Amino acid sequence: MVVSAAPVHKENRVGDIKLSNRGTHAKALITLDDICVQTPSGRELYKTGQKWICKGDRIILLGANGTGETQLIKRVQSAFAGRDNDIKPAPSVVAAYSDQNLSQLLEVQTPMETATQQADISDQRARGLLAAAGLSVAQQNRKINTLSGGQKARLTMLLLRLRAPNLYLLDEPTNHLDIGGQEALEEKLISHQLSCLIVTHDRSFLRNIGTRFWWIQHGKLQEYDSPEPFLRAEMAGG
């Protein structure tokens, strides 16, 4: 049975969010050469044109629900798994991917099992890292489905960090975070100059962290210097 997330204001202990940034000499981390993004059933949504994700970019994918932001981020993730030859990552790039449902967490596992298996670290190190992420020893040994949404989000961020990536692929990363967690995530993304491709509909978050903005519009992936044209259109119902 999946236990619903506890309200964030009732959590007794809020853990820290830390992210790492593996070095790379590559300037273009990802190359998109006018790829066609489709629905799972094969219907064309849009073409990307020629785009690059460069070192230090924090790119926000903008679009109305259903226009295909998640499909693009999944395709980029698939390229690292060798399942998409149309997207070309630089050889030195290591990606860390999180979807909006945190599905990389196995609900029937404990945080200890997840950390030691996914990151291949010792029990002692895992306990210290999980404690720093806000999980007590008791919580570390309970099933993940007993954790609050915020605790699951912090566990996910810890697992991403342990991959030592230099590119973060984040689909709605603030969905399960309280205000403190969102502010911590913003601070880490900016202060560490992390390269990332992010799907988010959180206006404050995308305004604070974005350096480039890709808007899915009229069957194309258009680049803008600011999110404001998209936000105005969204407010107007366009």
What is residue 1's predicted lDDT score, i.e. its pLDDT? 35
CATH number at residue 214: 3.40.50.300
Neighbours of 60 (CB within 10 A): 23
* Residue that wins the pLDDT comparison between 68 and 21: 68
Whether residue 73 has pLDDT greater than 50: yes
- DSSP designation for 54: E
Look at residues 61, 20, 19, 10 and name the one whose alpha carbon lies nearest to residue 154. Answer: 19
Q: Is residue 109 part of a domain?
A: yes
Q: How far is CA 30 from the centre of its chain?
A: 16
Please report, rounded to a whole number, the percentage of residues in the chain having pLDDT higher than 90. 70
User: 160 and 216: one domain?
Assistant: no
pLDDT band at 81 (very low <50, low <70, confident <90, very high): confident
Please check whether residue 58 is in contact with residue 194, taking contact to mean a CB–CB distance below 8 angstroms: yes
User: 177 and 82: one domain?
Assistant: yes
Report CA torsion sign: 227, 232, 236, 238. negative
Q: pLDDT tens-digit profile of 193-206?
A: 899 999 999 999 99
| Mean pLDDT estimate for the chain | 88
Q: Looking at the 3D structure of the chain, how many domains does it have? A: 2
Q: Is residue 129 part of a domain?
A: yes
Q: pLDDT tens-digit profile of 134-181?
A: 999 999 999 999 999 999 999 999 999 998 899 999 999 999 888 888
Please check whether residue 51 is in contact with residue 216, taking contact to mean a CB–CB distance below 8 angstroms: no
pLDDT band at 86 (very low <50, low <70, confident <90, very high): confident
User: 40 and 142: one domain?
Assistant: no
User: 141 and 53: one domain?
Assistant: no
User: 172 and 237: one domain?
Assistant: yes
The greatest distance separating any two alpha carbons of the chain, rounded to the nearest whole angstrom, comes to 53
Please check whether residue 111 is in contact with residue 155, taking contact to mean a CB–CB distance below 8 angstroms: yes
How much is the average pLDDT of 79-104? 90
Q: Is residue 204 part of a domain?
A: yes
List the domain range (segments joined by +) for residue 120: 103-164
Helix, strand and coil in the chain, % to nearest 5: 35, 20, 45
Q: Is residue 141 part of a domain?
A: yes
User: 88 and 199: one domain?
Assistant: yes
Q: Is residue 46 part of a domain?
A: yes
User: pTM for the complete prediction?
Assistant: 0.87
Whether residue 72 has pLDDT greater than 60: yes
What is residue 10's predicted lDDT score, i.e. its pLDDT? 38
User: 171 and 238: one domain?
Assistant: yes
